[in-house]
Structure 1
């Protein structure tokens, strides 16, 4: 039946007539409107905003706030990790600028979910138009944080995989130059990517109280570049792992016996193979202990990025109005019109148009779990000991220990030092009371002079003393190919592995 209200116009319930709403506010491209020429020529009817109220069950919007509170908990853990990096000594945290910058990128994502909890933004500009970054300040801030955090996390994961690959496979020592280059690359790329994404695509309320990227050109402006960097990081990670496996497989055949100092051959045939296998096992175990954190965080973040990209791109394709979508949505729209807007009776027909509620909630919650992954792979139990030591020494510092002998102060300077057992003890008696005037001063002068010369020692410089500074030995560059030097051994390879950041 037709609605007689001023908002519905000539459209059946629950649809609203599009011509009754202005086009100068909100995200007009986010409207879900279809032409109904069977009722009247050039008649376009729209579903009320937000669209998720009609495609998902009751309480869906409230359930999306679970992801916001998950990000609150993850934000607390991320702040704890950053404070540990900033305050505690390196021996407790093993901090590295790659880990710090990656954690900062995760914090930006978490802020994108935390801000809407405080601002309580309105998702709709009017009855059929959702808000976007131009009509809602909360939408602009939360969407910018979310996009910038996504860029930063992917770029710094790529930098971490690249640094690990260069040091292990190409023996490149990362110094100050690489530090500044990676800092510039890791933060300038997200800034440029955010500026291009906001100017070309923009963000708006699509589901929940957090603004996400719009579907127009999202694949070219955002998801495509992110997937490209994620793929490069994944390839570098697999090449690095393959190189490590290759080195240790070769060590099974090229390893020479180094633990046996005797020139006699082994007493049985299997001793060399047994020793090599044990050494290889210890080396592989050492590599895994040192680098499993960095390799794991790279693989987990890349898996999340791929999952997010696939879900969001498929959602963008399913919400674009075209002939195929109109044909697929006709049964659902007809059901809404016949039932007078009772969406619960038509929800089974809408299941094929949008992603399931479980998939959407899973994506939002996994975004909040990035902070947990950072603490799990980059945090250490030693941080708790470091904080305990920090509070014990800084906040609960007790007064310094004072010896009981310090109370017995006198004008005699000999009471301030403790003589060793090897130093001859001087039996000095207090002067007689009859000694006074010049004789008393003469006695004190002689006593002090005797103590001064008694405590003096002559220092003899040892023959083999190394206390004098020596000029460093200059090594000339040499080409191993011009000599008979052997290639890099597995021990040298282990040392290179130990120099990498955890």
Structure 2
């Protein structure tokens, strides 16, 4: 600060003397400068002096955008959990990434709901040790950022393996993704809480402190983000290579072929076949590709901006000359910040950049809803919450109610011995049709099983008890034997006529299923032989 404008007995406005305050809160977050025998500090929070009053309004609007984004994410998560998969096309990569975005949004929603006090006292900001809201918002923001980077990295890796290396990702990759996608963020937040901590340093949301922040958060986060970008551009490069190769492929044999010469060899694919395969994968995965690019852009943008802001503030503490023009302006104007906002440029990130960072982080859920959501989810919820009343006669199953069957005049149900009269309630009705395997008509007895009318062959073929059924097979037609037929029809045999010897045959010689007709004396329904 400027020594010429500071009286020897007190700090000029708006600065406050540190002598009247304790060492509570995040002491390292104070902006102070020794002036003679005094130590003058900038009032807390710093953003109230370095930014216009509209900064708080912009921050609150961004937090409300995070609320809308969270609602969109919750809609996706509930839809994936409740609706069938043919309506949602859910996948564990999408579910985990959406959960990570919800965690990130909670870092903005919790301060919006709790309205915490950013300052421990007039010159000291609160930390995670003095404010539970600060601890919660900081943890959710860091875990969400870590998890978002890890799951877009895994999605990019999965796409790269499928397109470039023809690897079918399966259950092993899923378990690897779950361990990596959630394990590394947990390790990361533990390191942050132990070696750095969080405090109110940039608005109402707590951020990581400067101490050890590069080693335990920013560098590892940017390393994974950089690997993701490299993998994604490598995949794009391979796609471009395949496309260019397909343009020079004039092989006529591949013009109408979408598959390689045999399914187990990818190396035999021609350039055009490879291009078709890559194009199909991209058509199915373009949403995932866009999500990877958007999330990585947001995280990298936020990391660079916050690291720049954090580094600038730390440089002001060690080199007060950087902020000398701004401090002098505040002292001359008696603590009025409006004329000095232009002078604060060297020590803070400009407000449009800050607003862009906050909004990009807040609307990630809306991007997920736009790219991962499908209209079939809406129709699925409509069908679930307001099901259509289907007609009872739309489909009649085996276990349909008897009352519904009685009302259907098209069925062949035999109600009683006398036509038009209902069966007694104590008798169990049964559906018997002329082509049922259990139907027995004395006029259509098998030539091999002559029986007198009224006698039972076994319990599964009841005798004719007087129920009248139309004779659907009363008329006979002349039989014309095929040219290469080795059988001929036999007339019905009476009970007194001698029986022909039984015909035996070996099922293995005819390639028939062994055991299909184990007993030649069993009744075989000619209309039920082809039933599955």
2:364 to 362, 366, 370: 370
Q: Secondary structure of the equivalent of 2:44?
A: coil
Aligned partners of 1:157 and 1:233 also within 8 Å: yes
In 1, the alpha carbon distance for the partners of 2:117 and 2:430 equals: 80
Q: CA deviation at 1:338?
A: 2.0
In 2, the alpha carbon distance for the partners of 1:467 and 1:136 equals: 80
Q: Secondary structure of the equivalent of 2:307?
A: helix
2:96 to 83, 97, 101: 101
Q: CA deviation at 1:13?
A: 1.5
Q: What is the correspondence of 1:76-115 to structure 2 with a 5 Å cutoff?
A: 76-115=71-110
Q: CA deviation at 1:213?
A: 1.5
In 2, the alpha carbon distance for the partners of 1:467 and 1:316 equals: 82
Q: CA deviation at 1:231?
A: 0.6
Q: CA deviation at 1:217?
A: 2.5
Pick 1 or 2: higher relative contact order, CA cutoff 8 A, min separation 6.
1
Given the alignment of the two structures, is residue 26 of structure 1 paired with residue 25 of structure 2, yes or no?
yes
**Are the structure 2 counterparts of residues 414 and 298 from structure 1 closer, same or farther at C-alpha, using a change threshold of 3 Å?**
same
Aligned partners of 1:112 and 1:141 also within 8 Å: yes
**Over aligned residues, Cα RMSD in angstroms?**
3.7
Q: What's the CA shift string for 1:308-360, capped at 9, x where partnerless?
A: 11110110111114577411211221221222211112222112321111111
**Are the structure 2 counterparts of residues 350 and 83 from structure 1 closer, same or farther at C-alpha, using a change threshold of 3 Å?**
same
Q: What's the CA shift string for 1:46-76, capped at 9, x where partnerless?
A: 0111111111112422321111100100011
Q: Secondary structure of the equivalent of 1:140?
A: helix
Q: Secondary structure of the equivalent of 1:258?
A: helix
1:123 to 103, 118, 125: 118
Q: CA deviation at 1:209?
A: 1.5
TM-score (norm 2): 0.71
**Are the structure 2 counterparts of residues 422 and 119 from structure 1 closer, same or farther at C-alpha, using a change threshold of 3 Å?**
closer
| 2:260 aligned residue | none
Task: Point out the more displaced range, 399-408 or 155-164.
Answer: 399-408
Given the alignment of the two structures, is residue 13 of structure 1 paired with residue 13 of structure 2, yes or no?
yes
Q: CA deviation at 1:388?
A: 2.4
Q: What's the CA shift string for 1:240-273, capped at 9, x where partnerless?
A: 2222222333333446323789xxxxxxxxxxxx
Aligned partners of 1:17 and 1:44 also within 8 Å: yes
Given the alignment of the two structures, is residue 318 of structure 1 paired with residue 312 of structure 2, yes or no?
yes
Q: Secondary structure of the equivalent of 1:447?
A: coil
Q: CA deviation at 1:292?
A: 1.0
Q: CA deviation at 1:392?
A: 4.1
| 2:198 aligned residue | 203
Given the alignment of the two structures, is residue 447 of structure 1 paired with residue 453 of structure 2, yes or no?
no
| 1:268 aligned residue | none
Q: CA deviation at 1:397?
A: 5.7
Aligned partners of 1:9 and 1:17 also within 8 Å: no
In 1, the alpha carbon distance for the partners of 2:367 and 2:178 equals: 22
TM-score (norm 1): 0.75
**Are the structure 2 counterparts of residues 418 and 317 from structure 1 closer, same or farther at C-alpha, using a change threshold of 3 Å?**
same
| 1:343 aligned residue | 337
| 1:136 aligned residue | 131
**Are the structure 2 counterparts of residues 35 and 404 from structure 1 closer, same or farther at C-alpha, using a change threshold of 3 Å?**
same
Q: CA deviation at 1:400?
A: 4.3
Q: Secondary structure of the equivalent of 1:212?
A: strand
**Are the structure 2 counterparts of residues 296 and 334 from structure 1 closer, same or farther at C-alpha, using a change threshold of 3 Å?**
same
In 2, the alpha carbon distance for the partners of 1:286 and 1:187 equals: 30
In 1, the alpha carbon distance for the partners of 2:366 and 2:99 equals: 13
| 1:3 aligned residue | none
| 1:435 aligned residue | none
Q: CA deviation at 1:35?
A: 1.3
Given the alignment of the two structures, is residue 222 of structure 1 paired with residue 217 of structure 2, yes or no?
yes
In 1, the alpha carbon distance for the partners of 2:298 and 2:72 equals: 19
Aligned partners of 1:331 and 1:349 also within 8 Å: yes
Aligned partners of 2:242 and 2:274 also within 8 Å: no
| 2:483 aligned residue | none
Q: What's the CA shift string for 1:144-176, capped at 9, x where partnerless?
A: 000000000001111111112222222333222
1:250 to 240, 245, 260: 245
| 2:322 aligned residue | 328
**Are the structure 2 counterparts of residues 256 and 278 from structure 1 closer, same or farther at C-alpha, using a change threshold of 3 Å?**
closer
Structure number having the greater helix percentage: 1
Q: What's the CA shift string for 1:158-204, capped at 9, x where partnerless?
A: 11111122222223332222221211111110000001011111111
Aligned partners of 1:65 and 1:208 also within 8 Å: no
Q: What is the correspondence of 1:253-272 to structure 2 with a 5 Å cutoff?
A: 253-254=248-249, 256-258=251-253
Given the alignment of the two structures, is residue 383 of structure 1 paired with residue 377 of structure 2, yes or no?
yes
In 2, the alpha carbon distance for the partners of 1:32 and 1:467 equals: 93
**Are the structure 2 counterparts of residues 392 and 259 from structure 1 closer, same or farther at C-alpha, using a change threshold of 3 Å?**
farther
Aligned partners of 1:159 and 1:182 also within 8 Å: yes
**Are the structure 2 counterparts of residues 163 and 260 from structure 1 closer, same or farther at C-alpha, using a change threshold of 3 Å?**
closer
Ranges in structure 1 where 5+ consecutive residues have no aligned partner: 1-7, 262-275, 428-441, 456-460, 469-502
Q: Secondary structure of the equivalent of 2:347?
A: coil
Given the alignment of the two structures, is residue 301 of structure 1 paired with residue 295 of structure 2, yes or no?
yes
Q: Secondary structure of the equivalent of 1:196?
A: helix
| 2:423 aligned residue | 410
**Are the structure 2 counterparts of residues 467 and 397 from structure 1 closer, same or farther at C-alpha, using a change threshold of 3 Å?**
farther
**Are the structure 2 counterparts of residues 467 and 390 from structure 1 closer, same or farther at C-alpha, using a change threshold of 3 Å?**
farther
Q: Secondary structure of the equivalent of 1:44?
A: strand
